[in-house]
Chain A
Amino acid sequence: MKSETGFDHALYERFPTDKRPDSEVDALNEIWKAPTGWRRLTAVNNNYVGFWYVVTAFGFFLAAGILALGMRVQLAAPMQDFLGVDTYNQFFTMHGTVMMFLFAVPMVEAIGIMLLPQMLAARDLPFPRLSAFAFWAYFVGGTMFFMSLFVGLAPDGGWFMYPPLTSIAFSPDINTDFWLLGIGFIEISAIAGAIEIIVGVLRTRAPGMTLDKMPMFAWAMLVFAVMIVVAFPSVILCTMLLEIERAFNWPFFDATRGGDPMLWQHLFWFFGHPEVYIIFIPAAGLMSMMVSTVARTKLIGYRLNVLALVATGFISFGVWAHHMFTTDMPRVSAGYFSAASMAVSLPAGIQVFCWIATLASGTIKWTTPALFVVGSVVVFTMGGLTGVMVGMVPFDWQAHDTYFIVAHLHYVLIGGMVFPMFAAFYHWHGMTSSKALSERVGKWVFGLMFTGLHITFLPMHLTGLMGMPRRVYTYLPGRDLDLLNMISTIGAFVMAAGVLLFVIDCARRFRFTVHDDAGNLYNGGTLEWLPTGLYSTRSIPLVRSRDPLWDQPGLSQEVADGRYFLPNSATGQRETLITSPVMAEPQYVQLMPGPSAWPVSAAVFTAGFFLSLTVQAYPFAIFCGIVAVLSTLRWLWETDRPIKQETAEIGGGIEVPIAITGSSSHGWWALNTLMVVIGMIGFMGVFAYLYLYGINPEVWSAPPPLGQTVLILTMEGLAFVAAWGGRRLLATKEGRLAEDLPWMMEALAVGLLAGALYFDITGWLETGLAPTMNGMGATVFMLMVLQAQVVTVAIIMAAYLAFREARGIMTTPTNVTMDVVARFIGFCALQGLVFTAVTRFFPGG
């Protein structure tokens, strides 16, 4: 086999090596020991953070479920007054928002953080403090967001918040701002988690675990994370636009001033539809793994399944407008989006038949996960079929925004995500609980949920065809809707009884542990079932097949005896093995940061910052913002330090470097991912500009003079050169101190960018354009706002770089911090060039 990195595959023959001394295990335990008492909250290890994450997300599932019960009581009979109209509207908005943003996405991300390191046999995810930050931002922000319900200030515009209903004219109170706030946190934590997962899956797999041998869940999480990176920028932008329109009266969505409410729908659904698959794909990955375990045989059609996941992710970006068939789309567009919506059901069909074929090739054992897995296939298929129906444009014109859709989406999401999640709870809880949950109770949980689901949602198809629109707090009597709604309400309580039973069983039997867990209850064959401690596995195994535990019966013992990679701590610090992205060949040892309060502080004060903005406590917002930035810098401070030891032995006599820089480093991958995110936000901003021009060209006015434009473009070009130059300069200092010149080059670059931005803004103001004037002003200045955001970050980065240099911790000839700063500033310069060129040359004078 050809090597990817020059690593000699013959070296793999040295494993398993001889048994290693047990004292190394004690050392590992000591290094990975979690803080105790209150300081436990500063833990960053995935066993803790992942578990907290899962529990919090499940808490939001319960909370949103209770809201649903309230709604069902209100709708049990016509014209009831159980919840008033205002409360009901808040309930359904919160139910949708919380389920989508505070439960589904965080839950799959949480399961990823919890399971991935063990599945890949990494010691932890590559950026544990980032995981901790993502969790705490989510926990604090999500909780505060939910609390708004108790003071009657919860958002009430529906989970997709269409303006102008959510604009300041029709929603003058801060309810909508709470929504934007809550979503802001999820955006932050989802992006952070996605970066973590992309780098984790691609770079921290056990040696030998080529892409082709990755567990399906890892594949799913990879697709999931890439989709987040591409889709979330769109919602980040549109929440920014709406908040700016509300706070500063910039008319992005105001049709009377050259904005367009449809801009929101395009931006939101460009995120919103992939969002559904963002939720479904990881669950499908879990399904594939569990199907194989419950059928006690290998997954049939592994490659087809991978292909299906990737195809789903890809096609899902081409279907967003099928939520907009009733907005009077041109026939051609409707046809295209209808075709794409049909096409996206093909990969789903492939997956369903992969699972059926796997079940057929094995022999099922009727455990609780098996029940949920089989139930999920049925429910998901039914939801998929109604999905095909509403993908047909003429049918959608009738079914759109009725209870038919409510039924459809619940079948899809419950079958596609909630049932797999419950299956996964049962399947994997042995990893974190010292006692097993009851199988007998589990079957009741399944039975109640499965029947409750159908009693609730099956009649809703008919309710919709009877003409009941969704999002109504009540309905008039005498329309033959009473009985159908009563049945749905009864079903909702049956389903809730199933969930309640699960919670009770958890309270009775679930006991969190990281050491003496109940183990592999259902006999899974992948690496997460190796014996583990907080450091994950004692040694990192060499992977030779997709189900190593089934194929190599002695593997667990060999791993525990330290007969594979990195059987000890090579540097005396937390570390993991970084491998190459395709073939997973060992490349270097990454040092990992340990517990820290700073990510927690950064998250709490970020939350404080946004919350203060929402309630318009601006001075306190500034205070929180500063503390959040300082906390972040402080947390980073301890990373990227000069180290004496340059290489480490990772077992079998193989020596690899420690903490490298450049394009093979995990930091490079993370930064690139982040730049894709920011670039996508910018791209969406440019889309908004061009879109409004397409809709309302009459409000477009002439750009500032050409000479000024050339000056600005030149400054941005020079900034790019300077940023690059600083890094080159550092490279010439090999073996010497870094001195001031490199960071000053970066500072110069930042200065040029700030200057260019200043000229850009004033230039436009001089033409008489103002952001509040019309759609053109709003989008032009919005691009400046986006640029100002990245330039501000660049300024902080340059200052941080200077500070590090002054404290003498800048390594030469290369330095990760320098790499990150230079590349980021270079990116800012390119973005500035694009923004300036687009706004000033298109459509031009």
Chain B
Amino acid sequence: MVSSDRGKAIVATVLALGASSVVSGCKDPVQTRYEPSDAAKSRGLVAIEKTGCGSCHEIPGVEWPRGRLGPSLAGFDDVGLIAGKLPNRPGLLAAFIRNAPAIKPGSTMPPMPVTDAEAQDVASYLYGLDSD
């Protein structure tokens, strides 16, 4: 019923990533800031619209829907933590999108029906929403 091995693997990844971010400080140094490609960003927007992420989130560039159930995703690259808990990194965000409850136990956000590649693209899109 539950593929617990996989779950553990993810948790391990999270912990590793989390640890590294603690080591390197809360905010990434400028040179390592994530710079997604435009192609990835536009694929990400398509995936967002196809999946209907807007049902719960307000997302810049998505006119509809603009749900208010979940947090707004504007200015994502400036948010310190994913879901107020996890270090904010693209790889982690992609994993979170695919399976939020596994990464943050107790998350309201359900697993999303997207492939791994799509989740990466969505993360790219969200990080590409520069507010600066």
Contact = CB atoms under 8 A, between A and B. Distances in A.
Direct contact of A and B (CB under 8 A): yes
11 contacts: A77-B63, A78-B63, A78-B64, A79-B63, A79-B65, A80-B63, A80-B64, A81-B63, A81-B64, A81-B66, A478-B50
Contact of A478 (B49, B63, B65, B66): B49
Interface in A68-101: 77-81
A80 B64 CA distance: 7
Interface in B19-72: 49-50, 63-66
Contacts of B65: 79
A476 to B, nearest CB: 8
Contacts of A477: 49
Nearest to B64: A79
Contacts of A79: 63-65
A166 interface: no
Nearest to B50: A478
A474 interface: yes
10 nearest CB pairs, A to B: A79-B64, A79-B63, A80-B63, A477-B49, A81-B63, A77-B63, A478-B49, A78-B63, A474-B64, A81-B64
Q: Which of A77, A79, A80, A81 is most buried by chain B, counting CB atoms within 10 A of its CB?
A: A79
Contacts of B64: 78-81, 474
A87 to B, nearest CB: 16
Contacts of B49: 477-478
A81 B66 CA distance: 10
A477 B66 CA distance: 14
Contacts of A78: 63-64
Interface string A48-85: 00000000000000000000000000000111110000
Interface in A372-429: none
A236 B63 CA distance: 43
B51 to A, nearest CB: 12
Interface of A: 77-81, 474, 477-478
A478 B49 CA distance: 9
Interface string B64-106: 1110000000000000000000000000000000000000000
Contacts of A478: 49-50
Q: Which of B49, B63, B65, B66 is most buried by chain A, counting CB atoms within 10 A of its CB?
A: B63
Contacts of B50: 478
A78 B64 CA distance: 8
A464 B69 CA distance: 35
A80 B65 CA distance: 9
A81 B63 CA distance: 7
A474 B64 CA distance: 10
Nearest to B45: A477
B6 to A, nearest CB: 32
B52 to A, nearest CB: 11
Nearest to A476: B64
Interface string B105-123: 0000000000000000000
A232 B100 CA distance: 65
B102 to A, nearest CB: 30
Given A78-B64, A79-B65, 13 more contacts: A77-B63, A78-B63, A79-B63, A79-B64, A80-B63, A80-B64, A81-B63, A81-B64, A81-B66, A474-B64, A477-B49, A478-B49, A478-B50
B67 to A, nearest CB: 13
Contacts of A77: 63
Nearest to A78: B63
A432 B9 CA distance: 86
Nearest to B66: A81
A169 to B, nearest CB: 29
A620 to B, nearest CB: 44
B72 to A, nearest CB: 15
A214 B16 CA distance: 95
A474 B65 CA distance: 12
Nearest to A77: B63
Nearest to B46: A478
Contacts of A81: 63-64, 66
A78 B49 CA distance: 11
A477 B63 CA distance: 10
A352 to B, nearest CB: 44
A328 to B, nearest CB: 34
A81 B65 CA distance: 10
A474 B66 CA distance: 14
A80 B49 CA distance: 14
Nearest to A474: B64
Contacts of A80: 63-64
Contacts of B66: 81
A107 B63 CA distance: 40
Nearest to A79: B64
B57 to A, nearest CB: 15
A71 to B, nearest CB: 16
Contacts of A474: 64
B46 to A, nearest CB: 8
B37 to A, nearest CB: 22
A478 B65 CA distance: 14
A478 B63 CA distance: 13
A83 to B, nearest CB: 12
A236 to B, nearest CB: 42
Contacts of B63: 77-81
B48 to A, nearest CB: 11
A547 to B, nearest CB: 59
Nearest to B62: A79
B86 to A, nearest CB: 30
A79 B49 CA distance: 11
A115 to B, nearest CB: 49
B43 to A, nearest CB: 14
A77 B63 CA distance: 9
B53 to A, nearest CB: 13
A65 B65 CA distance: 29
A278 B63 CA distance: 42
A772 to B, nearest CB: 43
A427 B29 CA distance: 72
A77 B64 CA distance: 11
A677 B49 CA distance: 57
B65 to A, nearest CB: 8
A469 to B, nearest CB: 17
A78 B50 CA distance: 14
B113 to A, nearest CB: 16
A473 to B, nearest CB: 11
B92 to A, nearest CB: 29
Q: Which of B49, B50, B65, B66 is most buried by chain A, counting CB atoms within 10 A of its CB?
A: B49
A80 B66 CA distance: 10
A78 B65 CA distance: 11
A70 B12 CA distance: 54
A392 to B, nearest CB: 36
Nearest to B49: A477
A78 to B, nearest CB: 7
B49 to A, nearest CB: 6
A829 B49 CA distance: 69
A80 B50 CA distance: 17
A74 to B, nearest CB: 10
A487 B111 CA distance: 39
A100 to B, nearest CB: 31
A292 B65 CA distance: 57
A172 to B, nearest CB: 27
B126 to A, nearest CB: 18
A221 to B, nearest CB: 48
A658 to B, nearest CB: 72
Nearest to A478: B49
